[in-house]
Amino acid sequence: MARIEKFSYDDAIVRKFTAATIIWGLVATLAGLWLALELVMPQLAFGQSWLTFGRLRPLHTNAAIFAFAGNAIFAAVYYSSQRLLKARMFNDKLSQFHFWGWQAIIVAAAVTLPLGITQSKEYAELEWPIDIAIAVVWVAFAINVFGTIAKRRERHLYVAIWFYIATLITVAILHIFNNLVIPAGLFKSYPIYAGVQDAFMQWWYGHNAVAFFLTTPFLGLMYYFLPKAANRPVFSYKLSILHFWSLVFIYIWAGPHHLHYTALPEWASTLGMIFSVMLWMPSWGGMINGLLTLRGAWNRVASDPVLKFFVVGITFYGMSTFEGPLLSIKSVNALSHYTDWTIAHVHSGALGWNGFMTFGMLYWLAPKLFQRKLWSKKLAEYHFWIGTLGILFYIVAIYAAGVTQGLMWRAFDETGRLAYPDFVETVTRILPMYWVRAVGGTMFVIGVVMCLVNLFMTWKSRPKEYDVPVIEAPALEKEYRGKTPKLVIPHDAPVLQIVHKIRYFVAAEWHRVWERKPFKFTVWVTISVAVASLFEIIPTFLIRSNVPTISSVKPYTPLELYGRDIYISEGCYNCHSQMVRPIRSETERYGEYSKPGEFVYDYPFQWGSRRIGPDLHRVGGKYPDLWHVRHMEQPTSTTPQSIMPPYAWLLTDDIDFGVIQDRVDVMVMLGVPYGESVNHAEKEARQQAKEIADNVASQGGPKGLETKKIVAMTAYLQRLGRDIKSAPKPAPAEKQASAGGN
């Protein structure tokens, strides 16, 4: 007979993560609303570099994902894990370190990103010292969770724990391998990957950050809190198993579908598309399992705001996971990519799925954490309705904007010419939709404020001292005394052996064995993720034909490299792409389509994921130097209808020539053939800066710019896409031979 042990749960740490969730949720949504307004009123930057769209947009995404959703995940894990495992968290000090360490990371992001300190990678913008801190805090979190699993008093791991394990393992793998860099200073680094490989690694990370930070832990949340709120068991245990393993294995393959029609090898993007389409089935398996858990409790949905939030959240999950595979299909992606359609898709998931599941959890948790009834059920109802309407206003307007953009970019008139050759024509057409988006965003923010007030007032009425129940549970015996079902095939079986094997597999008893062996379970999760990742990564890096070399492509000069860093620092990649796709409308508008070999010296890549402004890959040599100076100083002076904010400080801020040599040295370490520039980087940069400044002055522009950042930015922009133009033309005989060979 196992001895009975007494213990208590640590709900203090859950209260802290709950408070952080709603506070950072307000910060994230307010930042998003401000950015939505900046797109229609760029003057809201007030001429300040740290207030521009380019710098604040990464702050908004990081706050929404890692601050709001991240703290919600941790609150859910700390609350549910203790109860599912019948054990207090492994170490209270680790819990505190995790909480304060994560909040410090968020504050560091809130300071560095507006200052232009960024790696420019989607969802991975933070620089190397913060990345190291993230890894340390995440490892502490993992030790705490796995330590709790080790001392559990419940033999079998419940389905929510499966999803938490997948999150812990996969996020660590993604974060480490996507952020392998060489520092070039305290807040500057360059990735070890370049061009095509860097793009592949980024979207291997980026898509799976959505998968394993915004999906798997929230599914774990759903599997615990929804049955609790509905007072119903999960609909299907077997569907949970199928849902979990298929999702973990398939999701990791899907990242390359973000790079259709780019310089990425077609086999890789096609493979990503195939697995993305396959993702529809396990994703909807989770949705069905969630919604059918409410069988027999639908009558309560009308009166319970918690269930309302959960039902709409799961419905948005189903919508998003249907649309994701749809957008991965090449013909659809050709229309949607770089447009606001993707923005609408992302926000339907983030606001609807992640946001509403979080709000439902918070409203369910509040009375239990603060040991008082929710202050106002009616206010929670109002929050639900204004939040739902806000999401709909937002996504409907932005879906319309995205489809409008895609169709206008591709449109040709009856003469075969582009119907809208000037990019800004698209911008002005969708501005009314941006206003509607701002209205929807305002409504969603009001809902967040309502939630904050409700939780605060509930907390305010808390007892002077919280009651800490003492839990009793038998200790977990070292040896499992239950039956272990095995596959037994009678010698005189009247049916084929395969039938017995199928029956054994379908019964899922084998999985019950795995559930009481956490180490084995974790190993299989790791194998599922690693095998899928390596199958795509290794060929991409090892097959030379994936990135054919182009002899005319040379490294950036020291000044151009510094200018590229300014481009990244100012967040220009948030609005401009550098990838002309082999689509007629794009080659007509921008020029020759982009080749893989053109990006071999791009650390990091700058292909972009959205076009608020035109593509820049062929902008080099298109305009005189003075045009770029005027455009950056006051965009409306060159493009009257532009919504780009002024970057006047580039004409007054000095180039830090002293850091250029260190950055060139890092490039050399990465294999960039800089030749004599290795020893004379600063001198060469000063010479080129003087030449550009003289050009600007001779063209009628301001004098004395040779030490200002604007000349470095101009040097970089003037370089873009020019190398391939200087490649020698094949001789007629070569052309003929090539044609005959085809």
Q: Read off the pLDDT of residues 196-227 as tens digits, 9 standing for 90 and up.
A: 999 999 999 999 988 999 999 999 999 999 99
Q: Worst-scoring range by mean pLDDT, 508-517, 579-588, 653-662?
A: 508-517
How does residue 480 score in pLDDT terms, banded at 50, 70 and 90?
confident
pLDDT tens, residue by residue, 10-32: 999 999 999 999 999 999 999 99
Give CA–CA dist 638/277, Å, rounded. Answer: 44
Please give the CATH topology (third level) of the domain spanning 558-726: Cytochrome Bc1 Complex; Chain D, domain 2 (1.10.760)
Give CA–CA dist 380/306, Å, rounded. Answer: 8
**pLDDT value, residue 740:** 42
User: Tokens 């990425």 label which residue?
Assistant: 264
How does residue 539 score in pLDDT terms, banded at 50, 70 and 90?
confident
Give CA–CA dist 319/193, Å, rounded. Answer: 35
Overall average pLDDT of the 326-350 stretch:
96
Which letter does DSSP use for residue 475 in this model?
P
pLDDT tens, residue by residue, 378-416: 999 999 999 999 999 999 999 999 999 999 999 999 999
Overall average pLDDT of the 506-526 stretch:
87
Six token digits for residue 590 = 């921008």
What are the residue ranges spanned by the domains of the chain? 8-297+307-460, 558-726
Which letter does DSSP use for residue 353 in this model?
I
**Identity of residue 314:** I
pLDDT tens, residue by residue, 676-717: 888 899 999 999 999 999 999 999 999 999 999 999 999 999
**pLDDT value, residue 538:** 84
Please, which residues have CB within 8 angstroms of residue 322's CB and are 6 or more apart in sequence? 280, 283, 284
CA 102 and chain centroid, separation: 18
Average pLDDT, the chain: 93
State the pTM of this model.
0.94
pLDDT(719) > 80? yes
Q: Worst-scoring range by mean pLDDT, 102-116, 252-266, 529-543, 605-619?
A: 529-543
Instruction: Please tell me the number of Cα atoms within 13 Å of 256 on its side-chain side.
Output: 26
**pLDDT value, residue 336:** 96
Q: pLDDT exceeding 90 applies to what percent of the chain?
A: 87
pLDDT(729) > 70? no
**pLDDT value, residue 558:** 97
pLDDT tens, residue by residue, 117-136: 999 999 999 999 999 999 99
Overall average pLDDT of the 298-311 stretch:
94
pLDDT(741) > 50? no
Coil, strand or helix: which one is 369? helix
Buried b (16+ CB within 10 A) or exposed e, 590-609: bbebbbbbbbbbbbbbbbbb
**pLDDT value, residue 738:** 39
Scanning 461-583, the segments in alpha helix (DSSP H) are 497-507, 509-515, 518-542, 558-569
Overall average pLDDT of the 352-375 stretch:
97
Q: Considering only residues 729 and 612, tell me which one the structure prediction assigns the higher pLDDT.
A: 612
Q: Worst-scoring range by mean pLDDT, 170-179, 544-553, 583-592?
A: 544-553
For residue 184, how many other CB atoms are within 10 A of its CB? 20
Sign, CA torsion 343/24/35/450: positive
**pLDDT value, residue 104:** 98
Residue 611, phi then psi, degrees to nearest 5: -120, 95
CA distances to 77, 515, 521 from 165, in Å: 10, 12, 9
CATH of domain 8-297+307-460: 1.20.210.10
**pLDDT value, residue 546:** 80
Give CA–CA dist 662/681, Å, rounded. Answer: 9
Coil, strand or helix: which one is 122? coil
Q: Residue 509 burial (CB < 10 Å; 0-12/13-18/19+)? A: middle
Q: What is the DSSP string of 682-727?
A: HHHHHHHHHHHHHHHHHTT--S--TTBHHHHHHHHHHHTT-GGGGS
CA distances to 35, 126, 489, 491, 523 from 48, in Å: 14, 21, 75, 81, 50
pLDDT tens, residue by residue, 341-357: 999 999 999 999 999 99
Give CA–CA dist 84/469, Å, rounded. Answer: 16
Q: Residue 733 burial (CB < 10 Å; 0-12/13-18/19+)? A: exposed
* One fold for 8-297+307-460 and 558-726: no
**pLDDT value, residue 388:** 97
How does residue 577 score in pLDDT terms, banded at 50, 70 and 90?
very high
Q: Tell me the β-bridge partners of 169.
A: none
How does residue 491 score in pLDDT terms, banded at 50, 70 and 90?
low
Q: Tell me the β-bridge partners of 474.
A: 4
Residue whose C-alpha is closest to residue 586's, from 334, 266, 400: 334
User: Tokens 């899928």 label which residue?
Assistant: 532
**pLDDT value, residue 490:** 59
User: Tokens 């609909």 label which residue?
Assistant: 235
Overall average pLDDT of the 123-151 stretch:
97
Q: What is the DSSP string of 630-653?
A: HHHH-GGGTSTT--PPP-GGGGTS
**pLDDT value, residue 532:** 83
Give CA–CA dist 644/574, Å, rounded. Answer: 12
Which letter does DSSP use for residue 380 in this model?
H
Overall average pLDDT of the 477-502 stretch:
65
Coil, strand or helix: which one is 291? helix
Overall average pLDDT of the 354-363 stretch:
98
CA distances to 544, 608, 677, 680, 684 from 556, in Å: 22, 19, 11, 14, 12
Give CA–CA dist 689/514, Å, rounded. Answer: 64
**pLDDT value, residue 85:** 97
pLDDT(594) > 70? yes
